[in-house]
Structures are given as structure tokens and as C-alpha cells.
Structure 1
Amino acid sequence: MVEAATLALELVQRCGGSRCSMRRARKAIELGAEELKNGEQTVSFAAAVDETLKVKCGRRPTTLRDIRYFTGALMRRCPELKNFPVRKLTPQHCSRFLESAFSSGRQRYKARAVMSGILSLSLRRGWCRQNPLLRVDAPSFREQVIAVLNPEEIKCLRNAAESPEFRDCAPAVWIMMYAGIRPGEVARLRWCDVDMEERVISVRPLASKTGGARHVTVQPVLERLLTGYGIPEGNRPLCPPNWPLRWRRFRKEAGWGSGGRFRAWRPDVLRHTYASYHAKWFRDFPLLQMEMGHRSSTLLRARYLNMEGVSREGAALFWEVPEKEELHG
């Protein structure tokens, strides 16, 4: 009886003292009971990671690899996070875990995106009331200068593509360089995705890195190269068999690799080259954003464009623009 009276007195005091009505007290009890129930409906961060991997099991292997890598590093370097209830995670917790687990701004940036995806799924499942990472500023870091191929390097690639040994690799190389399609995407393209009548290449959801479809314009230089190669009929893969190995050998033949005339090959350099020369010649950022498959122009401007050393004259040479058009470009 004494405990009950103590609880009743505390309830009255917290609900307004002498002004507390029975209706207000009952409302406080209901809200407290609901909050207690919600607080018990949660899972550990490790369980939320497992559920995320199940939900995203159909995503690209690289996407799943990133989720496993960053969440594994977080739980390994911050052991308390593994069994931490996701409902109790605060912005301060998240910020501390990210800073403790990763030393570089780039790593924290990527880890924050992965962790935010897990907490967004937890929110949809009812395991938490908010995504605390939405209140944590994204880490800042300085982007490295994006690499762009110069005319000599482009010429070496074109020469290697014309050699009999690598003729079957040529279309994939041309499409990466003159359509900006990612290496992983081009490996999933089929010849039926190349529509020469409409002059577009369809990157379907199953082939796209981001899971969204897009159409990329076949510019005249790419049209000439593909037409000269001859477009096979049917649903055949665009890349030759054993493409990853052939692609490495192709780059070595062109001058990249051990003992080559150029430095190490830089990932996505063909995509960056396409974006920079496209921006320099066409001067159409909305079009380039659509062709690259970006949701906004922020990423495009911040990471993919390197205008240093890219001139209008060089862009005209890249796109093989006739002299008459170049004068009026």
C-alpha cells in the first residue's frame, strides 16, 4: 500500500501537482505504458545488419560486400555496438562509433551511408523511432583529382582495340570511353541493348550499378566505331567470354601494367574521361547527369569532372567533330 501511494504521489507531481486531474493521470499512464512497450520492441545492431543483408540479397555483390565490410569493421572495432539495441542509438552514439572505427573521412563517409541504410530499415520494421544518423553531419574529406586520359593514352587504347587479338574486346572499350558506362555495367550488357536506329544504349535495371534504368546517347564517333565493327544479331553478351582476364590483358597491350609506358590503370578512368570531355564540348550538365545516371549534379560536379588540361580543341578531337562543326562549336 505504501508503494502504491508513493507511485500515485509521484504521478500527481509529474502531471502538474495539485492541478492534476484523473484524466491527465490516466493519459500519463497510457503514454508511459506505450513507450515501455515500444522500448522493448527492438533488436540488436547485429540482428538489424542480418535483416538488411536478407532484404538486399538480390543487390550487386559489391553492394553486399560493402555492407559486410563496414558493419563488420564497426562491430569489430566497437564491440559494444554488436548487441546495442537500435532503438537506443543516439546521434552521439553513431558519431562516436564512426570516429572510433575509421580514421579517414572517406571511410567514415561510406560507413555512415551503410549504417544509415541499416537504421532506415530498422525504422520501417518498428525497431526504432528515428534514424539518428540523419542528425549526424556527413564527414568532410578532400576528393582526389579525378584522372582523365590524355590524347596519347586514348590513341594507345584505340590502337589496341584495332589489333586482331583484341578485336572482340573493342566494343566494350568504346562504350566505356564514349558512353561513360561503368566496367561492371558493360559486362552485363547484351547486344540487344544497343539500338543503332534510336542511337541509344539501354542500361537496364539488372545491368545498372544503382538498380535504375537509363539511356545513353550513341554519339557519332561511337556510332562509326560500332558500325564498322558490325552489330551482331540476337541476345548475345556484348563482352567476350572471360572478360575480366581479357580486359586486363587488353590494358597491358595498350601500355598499362608492369613494364608499360603508362602508370597503373585508374578505376573508372574511362567514365571520368567521358564525363570531362562531354562537359567541355556539349556544355550540358543536365544531359550529362542523366546519361551518367546520377540523381543530382552535386556528385557529378564534385567527383567526376576534371577540366584541368581538357581544352575545347582536345574535346573536339575526342568526339571526332568535323572541322566545320568545330569552328561553330
Structure 2
Amino acid sequence: MRTKPAEPEDDLPKNGEQAPFAHRAAEANAEFGTEQASRERARLVWGEESPAAAVDAPASPSASADAGSGEPEHPSARDGELIEHPLVLGGSEMLRAVNELETRDWTFWKLFEISLRSRTGRRPRTLQEIAQYVQRMLRVKPWWRYMPVGEITGADCVNLIETSFKTMPMQRKARTLLHAIFACGCRLGVCRTNPVEQLTYLYAPEQSIRALSILEVRRLLTAAQSPKHSPCAAALGLMLWAGLRPTEVARLRWGDIRLRERVIMVSPLQAKTATRRQVIMRRVLFCWLLRIAPFRPAGAPVIPLGWEKRWRALRLAAGFKQWPADVLRHTFASYHLKYFRDVAGLQIDMGHSSLHLLLTRYLGMDNITAQNASEYWGYEKELAAAKGGDPYASRF
């Protein structure tokens, strides 16, 4: 009777030692569950237990009798060569099928909800905007809500984006949001690849935005000084002479406006890019704020109640039926560079990390002359003349 040769002594675990690769076996058990759970998964996949179990099972008497029937022996048993047996390959296929079973319930809507909850630290308005984009796409293609994330392709994403949005900026933003959602799925292991990475990024041609003319600026300032629209005058001055965004002004408090230091403190919670910056308060803005709001509590907001409706009414009173986005910020940048010729200082006030965006989009100075720029930054002289002298000159 032939006996199995003993294994080398060095390969055996010593007393109190852990068997080789035991930690990997423990990790595998923790990942794929208990033996009973593995058998249940295999039964769902194969209709029976794992085919690999047939290899380890002891041979039956009938199988032993058939062994000497003259049938050719398997090559691996004959000459010791390592050949990929179909049953061995079936083990990897089983793991793939098990993964499909575990990810079958991961629909697009479920992945979107988890990715939205993972965006910690985002403002409620940002989360609401993301949800609005996704809900608009689901209104166009409602079945996307129930699509398994593993079956979504790049072509599906292209069709969804182009059908839901017609303008290039909105399509670019929708692509960015979908990319973030599927990136979350890749991190969780429910997506093998990100289907949005197959799409070509949409580059919109940079277009220079026209700044307001000096006459249009005067119409805005005149309307803001009327009793009906005066609650919006301070916010108008901050956007016009400090270049603040409307969303930044809406989050600003009077305590952030340092009249003694003549700076405006924009915190990361108030800024669009979540970066801190200090904006220099020019003389015209200083005089405007002292005239419009000589005293306000430090914790009070700069904007009045019903800001959106009041701000729209002020623009209509000034004759603006159409209002380009961030036009006051573009106006500030154009008049600033025309008058002060200080690109570095303008970059700091605008809060830009580089000069590329500033030089390509924010400088629409075609309709601005040197005299217009002088009137823009010297408007406090007209305020002083209207009141018979400059009552704020001693404050400088």
C-alpha cells in the first residue's frame, strides 16, 4: 500500500502559530459570509451546490469501478502539468455571479441617494440643485430610477443628458453630476467602471460678457435710492463696487463689513468656492454704505426680507427686463481693471485662484472709456454734491 510522503517540517505550523494564509481565509469568510451562506449563493447561481465541491467530494464505488475501464486518464493526473480545468474556472465565474447577485438591487435611484448623503459639508442649496438636475432627468426617462447601475452604459448616459438638457452649460453640469454618482458606485464596489468616463468632455467656447454702461449703472443707483427700493441699496453697492456674487451677498452679515479697516470679510461658508478672502472697500462703497445704512446690528443680514422679489422689482424699475447672470460682478471687474490697472489686486478681490478665467471672461471693456471708469469709481462726489459737501471726508 502506497503512503503519502510526509510534508517538509518547515511548512507545518509550529505550536501556537497560525497556519499559513489563515488570515486570508478569515478575510475571505468575512467577505463572502459563512459556509452555509456560500452554499445558498451557489445554489441560486448553479441550481445546485458549487461545482468545485464535486472535485473535493470522495469518489463513489461506481466511480472507482469505472476508473479502470480503459478511459484515458486526465492529463493533469498523468504527467503533473498545470492545466486550467473547467471546474476550476467555474469557481471564478461563481464569484462573479455572486457579485452580480449582491449588486442586483443597486438601482440608479438607490445609488443617487447614497451619493447625495455622502456629500457632507455641502450647503442645502447645493444639494437641492443636484436633486433638481437628477429629478429633471428622471422626469424625461422615468425608467432610469429602476435601472441596475451595472447595466448602464456610456451610450445610455449620452442619451439621457442630450434628451434632458438642450444647452451646453446644463449638459456639462449634468455630465459632472452623473460622473460623481457613478464614481461613488465605483468606490462602493457596485460599479466595475464609470460609464461617464467614456464620454468626451464638452468644452463651451469662452464668451466675453458685456459690462453695464455708465448710463445703466446710473439707472440702477437712482432706482436704489428711492424709498421703495432702498432696502436693496446696500446689497447693490456690494455687488457693484466689491464684485460680490448675489449668493455671497445673501449670506453676508453686517459684522462682516469692517468699516474701520475698510475691508469686507468673506468666509468659506459664504463664498462660492469655499475659500476665505478679504475684499478692499473703495471710497465710493464706503460713502455709499454710510449714506444708505449708517448703523446696522452686526448679526443682521445685509439683504432685506423677500430679497428675490425686491431685487427683481429694483431691476425692473431701472428698465432691465433681461438680466444676465453675474453681470454686476463682470461690471466690477471691467471697470476695476480699466481704472486701477491692477490685475493682481483684482484677482484677490474676485477670489480667483488663477488669472485665466479673469482674462478670458470677466473683462468686457469694449464699451468703457477712461472717463466712464472715473465716473464709476467717483460716484461719491455726486452723492456729496447732492447733499452740499462731503460729510464723510473726515472719516478717511
Say yes or no: TM over 0.5: yes
Offset from partner CA, 1:274-325 (integer Å, 9 cap, x none):
1222333344545434433345544444443323213344333322399xxx
Closer/same/farther in 2, CA of residues 301 and 48 from structure 1, 3 Å limit:
farther
Q: Counterpart in 2 of 1:270?
A: 328
Q: Counterpart in 2 of 1:244?
A: 308
Structure 2 SS opposite 1:127: coil
Q: Which residues of structure 2 form unaligned runs of 5+?
A: 1-49, 56-78, 381-396
Indicate if the aligned counterparts of 2:154 and 2:195 stay in contact, CA closer than 8 A.
yes
Give the counterpart of 1:148 among 211, 236, 246: 211
Structure 1 SS opposite 2:251: coil
Q: Counterpart in 2 of 1:217?
A: 280
Indicate if the aligned counterparts of 1:147 and 1:266 stay in contact, CA closer than 8 A.
no
Give the counterpart of 2:157 among 94, 101, 110: 94
Q: Counterpart in 2 of 1:47?
A: 110
**Amino acid paired to 1:181:** L
**Equivalent residues in 2 for 1:114-153, closer than 5 Å:** 114-142=177-205, 146-153=209-216
Distance 2:284 2:88 in 1: 72
Q: Which residues of structure 1 form unaligned runs of 5+?
A: 9-17, 257-261, 323-329
**Amino acid paired to 2:303:** C
Cα offset for 1:186?
1.0
Q: Counterpart in 2 of 1:15?
A: none
Distance 1:198 1:215 in 2: 11
Distance 1:277 1:239 in 2: 24
**Equivalent residues in 2 for 1:160-199, closer than 5 Å:** 160-199=223-262
Distance 2:98 2:355 in 1: 44
Indicate if the aligned counterparts of 1:57 and 1:64 stay in contact, CA closer than 8 A.
no
Distance 1:159 1:316 in 2: 18
Distance 2:102 2:372 in 1: 61
Offset from partner CA, 1:192-236 (integer Å, 9 cap, x none):
011223332122233333444332222232223224442434322
Indicate if the aligned counterparts of 1:191 and 1:231 stay in contact, CA closer than 8 A.
no
Distance 2:88 2:341 in 1: 62
Indicate if the aligned counterparts of 2:208 and 2:362 stay in contact, CA closer than 8 A.
no
Could you state the TM-score of these two structures normalised by the residue count of structure 1? Answer: 0.74
Closer/same/farther in 2, CA of residues 21 and 178 from structure 1, 3 Å limit:
farther
**Amino acid paired to 1:163:** S
Aligned length: 304
Could you state the TM-score of these two structures normalised by the residue count of structure 2? Answer: 0.63
Indicate if the aligned counterparts of 2:51 and 2:87 stay in contact, CA closer than 8 A.
no
**Equivalent residues in 2 for 1:36-115, closer than 5 Å:** 36=97, 38-40=99-101, 42=103, 43-56=106-119, 59-115=122-178
Q: Counterpart in 1 of 2:372?
A: 314
Q: What is the percent sequence identity of the aligned residues?
A: 35
Distance 2:228 2:166 in 1: 45
Cα offset for 1:238?
1.5
Indicate if the aligned counterparts of 2:51 and 2:90 stay in contact, CA closer than 8 A.
no
Distance 1:199 1:35 in 2: 65
Offset from partner CA, 1:34-60 (integer Å, 9 cap, x none):
655555554221112222333448644
